Amino acid sequence: MAINLEKMRNIGIMAHIDAGKTTTTERILYYTGKIHKIGEIDDGAATMDFMKQEQERGITIASAAITTTWKNHTINIIDTPGHVDFTAEVERSLRVLDGAVAVICAVDGVQPQTETVWKQADEFSVPRICFVNKMDRIGADFFYCLKDISEKFSVPTIALQIPIGQGEKFEGLIDLLTMKEIRWNQDDDGETFTEVDVSDAYKEEAQKWREKLIDDVASYDDELGEIYLEGGEITNEMLKKAIRKGTIARSFVPFVLGSARRNQGVQPLIDAVIDYLPSPLDVPPAKGVHVKKDKEEDVEIPCDEKKMPLGLVFKIQQDREMGALCFVRVYSGKFSAGSQVLNVAKKKRERINKILRVNANHMEQMDSVSAGDIAVFVGLKLAQTGDTLGSEGMPVLLETVKFPEPVISVAIEPESLSDKDKLVETLAVMSREDPTFTSHEDAETGQLIISGMGELHLDVLVTRMKEDFGVKARVGAPQVTYRESVTGEAEETCEWSKVLGGKENTAALTIKIKQNQQGEGNTYQCEVHNNQIPDEIYEAVKTGIENSFASGIQYGYPCADVGVTVTKIDYNELSSTPMAFTACAVQAFDEAARKAAPQILEPVMNVDISCPLEFVGDAISQMTQRGGMIQGQDSKSSGEIIHCIAPMAKMFGFSTNLRSVTQGRASFSMEFSHFQVKQGGLDNF
C-alpha cells in the first residue's frame, strides 16, 4: 500500500547528553501505540537503547530508527546520541531527515552539545521545533530557554504553550492556540489529560503570550500580517498554517514544553511534529551530480515515486544473522525486494535481498519502499555509509556524508595468533559501520592501531569488540593522532628514470607546495593542460600526490592543510608511463615538503566545563596546568560553564583530576576543534 507523502514525517530527536531525548522518544512510542509499556533508561529497559552497552551506561550510542503512526500520519523517528564522541551518528542522521525536535533541558538551557547539533542542523537546513523538557525539575525556567536559544543562535523563537507553574509547582500547560489549560492524569501514565478553559488566575498572562504569538507570526507572514493590521479575525487554522510555513522556511523556531519523565506534554509535542514539521514534499529537492554524461552536471532530484530509483545509504549496522543492515533514505522512485541496484560511487551492481521496516530492535518485512521513506536493505555486500544507490538510467551521486577525522589512537593486539584473523575481520566490520573509527597497521612496529573521536568512543568500541564479537585482544594506552604540515613554500623539479623488464620508464615534473588556511584541508591542482598528454598520466600524478598526503613528510603522520600545484609535466611518448609519474610525484612531494619548513600538528579540543561557582577557580587552574586557554564563561542556574581550548595530548586523565578538586560536582564535554603547530615544535616531539 502506497504511503501518502503529505502524511509522512522523517524526524530526528537531537540534544545535549542527558536532556531526555530517549525518554521523550519512549513516550512518543507509548502514546502512538508502538510499545505497550514505557521502558526507563535508568532501568536499562528503553526500547530505543537496545544495545547492551547503552543499557549498562544509560546513554545512546547508535542512532536507532523506528516507524510509528499518529492521527493517520507515518512518522520515521531517529533517536540520536547526545555524547560528543558519537557526533557522527547525529551527522549522518541529520543528512537524511526532513525535520528535527531539539530537546532542551528546562534548567540548563543551551548546553555545549546542543550548540554542536544545532550547527549541524543548520548546515543541512533542517527545520526544527524545540521541546523544553524537565519542567518539573527545581530551577526549571521555560522563558529563560526561549531567550537562551534566541540569543545563542540568533534565531527568533515563538512559544506555542506556556507552563502552569514551574519546577516543583509544574502542573501542566496552557495551549496558546486553543487557549485551554491541559493537565495530565498520572494514574494511567499520562495517557489521558483534561482540557479546560483558561482560568481567571492565568487569563491575563495567557492572553499576553497569545497576542505576542500572533504578532510574531504575522511579522513573517504577509497574508496573516495584512489581516492582523486590519484588525480582522485570525482563526486557529490560519495561525497553524502560518506557523507551519514559517517553521519550514526556518524563519523562527516554535517551542512546546513538558516533562517526558512525568508523562506530561508529549501528545501536544507529537501534534506539533505533524502540524509544523515538513513532509518529504515540503523540503527542497535533493541535490546530486549526474555522472553518466561526458561532463558532470548538477541535478535536482524531486521526491517522486514514478521517477528512477535513487537512495542514500546513511548508516550501516551489523547483524549476526542477516549481515550488514544498510539504512537507506529513498529520494526518488521505488526499490523492490529481490531487485538489482547500481552502487553509483563504486560502479558495481548489487542485489537487495530484503527490505525491512525498522522498529528499533525488531523488523517487519516489506515488498518495496518508495521516495520519501526510510528503510533497511539487506544483502548489499559493497555499500558503505555515504554511498548512493541508483540505476544505469539514473547514475546520480548524492552528496556524500562528511565525517570529522579521528583524533585519538590505541594499539590493539590479539591475545593469540588464532585470534588475529577474527580481530582484523571485526575491525573491518566496525569501520564499515562507523566511519569515524579507523584501523591500520603501523609500518614500523607492525602493531594494529585503532583510532576514534575520544576516550569514551574507543572504550565503547573495544568493549563491543570483546562482548558482541567475542574477540580476545589487549589494548594499549591512548595515543594522540598527530598530523604533519608545511609552514613555508617550496618548488621542486624532479626527474625519475628506471629500467624495468628491459624497458626504460621516465617521468619529470615540477610542483609547488604551500601551507593552506587552517581547516582548509589538503588540496591538489594541476596547471598543465596539454592534449598530447594522456589522461592516465594526469591521474597517475594525482594518485602519487594523494598517496603522499596520506603517508606524511618526516614521521609518517597524514598531512593536513597542505596545498600542491603541478606547474610542469615533461611527457615522453616512448618512455613515459603512469607508474613512472606516480613514483616521480611521490619523490617530488617528499623533496619539496622537506624544504618547506615541515611541522608536527597536534589536535586541539574545545572543552566546556560545568561546575558550581565555588569551584570555578580550581577548575580553571586544572585547565591552565594542562596548557589550556580560557575562552569565556557563562552563568546558568545549574552552575558556571567555562569555555576553553586545550591540546588533546594534555587532556588524558583530566576527568579524574577535575572530579577530585571539585568534590565530584563538575563535569566536562570535549570535541575536536582544529589542528595547530605542536607546542615546542619538533624538538619537543
* CA–CA separation, 274 and 413 (whole Å): 51
Most confident segment among 55-59, 236-240, 253-257, 535-539: 253-257
The cell for 132 is 523544553
Residue bearing cell 533542517: 126
Residues 214, 219, 221, 222, Cα dihedral to 10°: 120
pLDDT (0 to 100) of residue 56: 39
CA–CA distance, 109 with 145 (Å, rounded to integer): 5
| Higher pLDDT among residues 677 and 567, named by residue | 567
On the question of pLDDT at 444 being above 70, the answer is no
Domains, the chain, ordered by start: 5-198+254-276 (3.40.50.300), 286-398 (2.40.30.10), 408-481 (3.30.70.870), 484-596 (3.30.230.10), 602-684 (3.30.70.240)
pLDDT given at position 400: 60
pLDDT in tens, 7-32: 899 998 888 767 787 788 888 888 88
pLDDT digits (tens, 9 = 90+) for 172-217: 999 999 999 999 998 888 888 999 999 999 999 999 999 999 999 9
Residues 6+ apart with CB under 8 A from 319: 325
Of 381, 410, 382, 387, nearest to 400 by C-alpha is: 387
- According to the model, what pLDDT value does residue 49 have? 37
Are residues 9 and 24 in contact, defined by beta-carbon separation less than 8 angstroms?
no
Q: Which residues pair with 235 in a beta bridge?
A: none
Residue-level pLDDT at 293: 55
Q: What is the pLDDT of residue 52?
A: 44
pLDDT tens-digit readout, 376-406: 899 998 888 778 899 888 788 886 656 667 7
Rg of the chain (C-alpha set): 28
Q: Counting beta carbons within 10 angstroms of the beta carbon of residue 168, is it exposed (0 to 12), middle (13 to 18) or buried (19 or more)?
A: exposed
In the structure grid, which three cell numbers stand for residue 384, read together?
Answer: 558503505
Taking alpha carbons only, the member of 377, 316, 319 closest to residue 350 is 377
pLDDT (average), residues 544-563? 90
**What confidence tens digit (pLDDT) does each residue in 460-490 have?**
888 888 877 888 888 887 778 888 999 999 9
Express as a percent the part of the chain with pLDDT over 70: 88
- Whether 45 shows a pLDDT value over 50: the answer reads no
Give yes or no for residue 227 having a pLDDT over 70: yes
* Per-residue pLDDT, 38: 55
pTM of the predicted model as reported, rounded to 2 decimal places: 0.71
The whole-number pLDDT of residue 54 equals 34
Q: What is the C-alpha to C-alpha distance for residues 12 and 16, in angstroms, rounded to an integer? A: 13
Mean pLDDT, the chain, integer: 84
- Which cell is 428 given? 573491518
The mean pLDDT value for 448-467 works out to: 81
- pLDDT at residue 403 in the model: 66
Per residue in 598-624, pLDDT (tens digit) is: 999 888 888 888 888 888 999 999 999
pLDDT higher than 80, residue 292 = no
Q: For the chain, give me the number of helices (H) and strands (E)?
A: 15, 38
Checking DSSP bridges between strand 438-441 and strand 479-480, what pairing results, if any?
Answer: unpaired
Average pLDDT over residues 483-500: 92
Helices (H), 124-166: 142-153
Structure confidence by residue, pLDDT tens digits, 49-91:
333 433 333 333 233 567 888 998 988 887 665 455 555 666 6
pLDDT of res. 635:
83
255-269 burial, b at 16+ Cβ within 10 Å, e below that, comes to bbbbbbbbbbbbbbb
**For residues 278 and 281, what is the distance between their CA atoms, to the nearest angstrom?**
8
The whole-number pLDDT of residue 37 equals 52
Task: Decide the pairing of beta strands 8-14 and 99-105.
Answer: parallel
Are 115 and 56 contacting, i.e. CB atoms less than 8 angstroms apart?
Answer: no
Backbone torsions φ then ψ of 321, nearest 5 degrees: -90, -45
What nine digits make up the cell of 319? 547483524
Q: What are phi and psi of 335, to 5 degrees?
A: -105, 135
Q: Which residue has the cell 486557529?
A: 236
More confidently predicted of 554 and 671:
554
Pick the most confident of 68-82, 427-441, 639-653: 639-653
With a cut of 50, say whether residue 540 has pLDDT above it.
yes
Candidates 559, 551, 652, 567; CA nearest to 598 is 559
